[in-house]
Structure 1
Amino acid sequence: MTGPGVAEPSSPAPGTPGRPAAQPEPDAARRHRGASGPVVAVLGTGGMGSGMARSLVRAGLPVRLWNRDPAKARALGGPGAVVCGSPAEAAAGADVVLTVLFDAGAVEEVVRRAAPAPGTLWLQSSTVGLEDVDRLAGVARELGLVLVDCPVQGTRKPAEEGQLVLLASGPDDARPRLAPVFEALGRRTLWLGAAGAGTRLKLVCNAWVLALVAGTAQSVALARGLGLDPEDFFRVIDGGHLDVPFARVKGAAMIAGDHPVGFSLTGALKDSGLILAALRSAGVSDVVTGAVREALTAAAGRVPDPAAVDMAAVVEGLAPGPG
């Protein structure tokens, strides 16, 4: 069976032009193979990657960790989790390579450096765009990897608790091989078809999430601008058909002015660009996401570090400016 992201018989062999020579399997990976379940290399241990790695370790799966900032990977090291010095070291001997990185450029760079063995399952969970997922499928074919395009719905807390929703797309024969990994990571897995469908649905979901957060921020800002207590807005919707727990959580952060990162403002701004491109590709009006992006951009200009605050800080872009 062939298709986007599925290894083809003509994939170059290790050591041939177009593919680095395969790395020897280190002793740690061989020891991991004696453990229960597939060996998973987690490439990227930021907010989401670290939570997913913890869930894998908690489930008893052997994990190999790499991050561009070694300190973030070292913080996760311990029984069941081997910290590696390079993507290639992490991928050597792994059955599954999980990429959880900021954007498609980082994903392609890191997976090429990792050069996993042909036939390795590549679980690509970073949020990327429509053109990006097609390009990454080409990389998978070139390297002989089996691509499962699988973005996730959820933020840091669900990642740490193994309660993500997994938007999986790829070859059917990957399902049983990934079953223990998905059981560790999520409360629900949707298999959506050929690789690329997961990314398309992720953009659909994030369009709604960003609009919901921006709409909540606008109501909070408007209440304040009209001299009202924004808490009264949430009292009105509490327990009724309009009540959305996620909006209440984000609204509480907006009211408190406290924005610990669940999903960063920088990440939301990046995703808004991907969603705009998808809307235009589909011939759908981009007026809503365009307005959301304007608010995100304004907020990013008003906070010291957009990467260090949650997307709920979009409220800062809607508040009256000085003067």
Structure 2
Amino acid sequence: MNVTILGTGIMGSAVAGTLVRAGHQVTAWNRTADKAAPLADQGITVAPSAADAVAGAEVVLSIVFDTDAVLDVLDDAGPAVPDGAVWAQATTIGVDGTKEVAARAAELGVSLVEAQMLGTKGPASRGELAILTAGDPALVERARPVLDAMSSKTLHAGDEVGCASALKIACNAWLATITAGVAQSLALTSAQGLDPQLFLDAITDTATDCRYAHLKADHMLSEDLAPTFTVDALRKDVGLSIQVARSSGTAVTLLDAVSRVLGVASLDGHGKEDVAAVYDAFTTTPLGNGD
């Protein structure tokens, strides 16, 4: 299929490479052109504008940062989207942001569904994401060859656009909790004079074991902070979770604590680094309280 990727950050670039290796014809665009240029070496067409990028698309994937960025690119590219093309919105923007985007898409005559991605750079580059879809099932099915190439599984959250975003917010709250929890336990182990690796050895093959815990702990202990999912991106998603929790009457005690920890890591200069950098918030004297 002819696929357009709008946004070639960490996830967009990884997905673009996966799709072209799967045999799709991929065109990419990024607001900062230099970030998209290297994709040409993989056989991906790099377009000079968002409108040019979608001109021949059958499926469009928006993988940018926040609601404003999705709206901007939708305004730029929406009028040029061909009839019959499906716009799969993959940016984490929460339910309210998704409703705003869906309304704008309807005004522009763009057929929009959700394709929320669970996973980071590694799974994206291997076609092993979990994809949460929502919207008209017929439109989702039209995009199925692209979604299947990106993922090891897909889950349809509901026929109403916004259902996938609701589920994604809950999933990312869990991700943030695990990340902070692993950092806390490693720091506690080390602070008591023990090798922090012993914490991982202790939970291995128990009911509390978690593959993600080992993955992030390895990055924390090796100080390998090359970003697969940045501190600032996760902090933004936790903020969306807090908004949803407050509006629905759900307690935000844990979310507030995780948000502050991520804020400390960001204030200490780790905002653009991998979420493993949250370990810094437990092991150094912070520059602020993260609020």
Range class of TM-score, shorter chain: over 0.9
Q: Which protein is richer in helix relative to its size?
A: 2
Q: Is the 8 A contact 1:152 1:166 kept in 2?
A: yes
Say yes or no: does 1:62 pair with 2:25: yes
Query: Following TM superposition, by how much is the alpha carbon of 1:238 offset from its aligned partner in structure 2, in angstroms?
Result: 1.1
Query: Following TM superposition, by how much is the alpha carbon of 1:60 offset from its aligned partner in structure 2, in angstroms?
Result: 0.8
SS state at 1:122 partner:
strand
User: Which piece of structure 1 moves more, 39-48 or 70-79?
Assistant: 70-79
* 1:67-100 alpha-carbon deviations (Å, 9 max, x no partner): 1121221211156521100000001121111100
Partner in structure 1 of residue 100 of structure 2: 135
Query: Following TM superposition, by how much is the alpha carbon of 1:111 offset from its aligned partner in structure 2, in angstroms?
Result: 1.4
| Higher CA-based Rg | 1
| Equivalent of residue 214 in structure 2, options 224, 227, 248 | 248
Instruction: State the alpha-carbon separation in 2 of the partners of residues 53 and 79 from structure 1.
Output: 9
User: Percent of counterpart pairs with the same letter?
Assistant: 38
Corresponding letter in the other structure for 1:126:
T
RMSD over aligned Cα atoms: 1.4
The within-5 A match list for 1:188-199 is: 188-193=153-158, 194-199=160-165
Instruction: State the alpha-carbon separation in 2 of the partners of residues 254 and 234 from structure 1.
Output: 12
User: Which piece of structure 1 moves more, 46-55 or 225-234?
Assistant: 225-234
Corresponding letter in the other structure for 1:94:
A
* 1:231-258 alpha-carbon deviations (Å, 9 max, x no partner): 1111111122111111011111112222
The within-5 A match list for 1:1-323 is: 38-78=1-41, 80-115=43-78, 116-193=81-158, 194-303=160-269, 305-307=270-272, 309-321=273-285
Corresponding letter in the other structure for 1:135:
E
Query: Following TM superposition, by how much is the alpha carbon of 1:192 offset from its aligned partner in structure 2, in angstroms?
Result: 1.6
Q: Is the 8 A contact 2:113 2:140 kept in 1?
A: no
Query: Following TM superposition, by how much is the alpha carbon of 1:154 offset from its aligned partner in structure 2, in angstroms?
Result: 0.3
* 1:41-67 alpha-carbon deviations (Å, 9 max, x no partner): 110011100111111101111111101
Q: Is the 8 A contact 1:120 1:146 kept in 2?
A: yes
Instruction: State the alpha-carbon separation in 2 of the partners of residues 232 and 42 from structure 1.
Output: 43
Q: Is the 8 A contact 1:299 1:317 kept in 2?
A: yes
- The 4+ residue runs of structure 1 with deviation greater than 6 A are none
TM-score norm. by structure 2 comes to 0.94
Q: What runs of 5+ residues in structure 1 fail to find an aligned partner?
A: 1-37
Instruction: State the alpha-carbon separation in 2 of the partners of residues 84 and 125 from structure 1.
Output: 20
Of structures 1 and 2, the one with the larger relative CO (CA 8 A, separation 6+) is: 1
TM-score norm. by structure 1 comes to 0.85
Instruction: State the alpha-carbon separation in 1 of the partners of residues 284 and 121 from structure 2.
Output: 31
SS state at 2:154 partner:
strand
Q: What runs of 5+ residues in structure 2 fail to find an aligned partner?
A: 287-291
Q: Is the 8 A contact 1:164 1:187 kept in 2?
A: yes
